[in-house]
Structure 1
Amino acid sequence: MVSRYGVKIRKRVSEILAIKNRRYECPKCGKKRVKRVKNALWECGACGYTFAGGAYGPETTVGLTAKRILGSIKPQ
């Protein structure tokens, strides 16, 4: 980016882009081959597994909280 818009916003944008472009671990096969395909759409390059996630990361904080709560509920 050019030197406009202030340092704070440029640092924040670079952090978000680093999170978005990082490779993540596949929930199905376990390999670190998950990349962002489109907005909130993630795909594993190894097994081809496609799933919906967050806009900039495959899991959101709300999703992790819901997963933790649902995991603690035991079926009767």
Structure 2
Amino acid sequence: MIYMDLEKIYRERDIPNKYILTLVIAARARQLSERKDLGGDEKYISKAVSDVTDGKISYKIIDPLPKTENVPAA
């Protein structure tokens, strides 16, 4: 198992915390596994961490329920 300093990665990449970093890495690993883009012996999760560390992956948090204004009913 390869040691990866997750705190260093999420601080350098401007990711708020290690839990969001985990979600970003998991999403990238799933993307790679579904597309079967990886050749050789490298694991999907290792490639995903490498992509995030190298700045190849960006993320955006989307609010699923946008706030609505309190408009009185007619």
TM-score range (shorter-chain normalised) is: under 0.3
- Structure whose residues are more often helix by fraction: 2
Larger radius of gyration: 2
Q: Which has the higher strand share?
A: 1
| TM-score for the superposition, normalised by structure 1 | 0.27
Normalising by structure 2, we get a TM-score of: 0.27
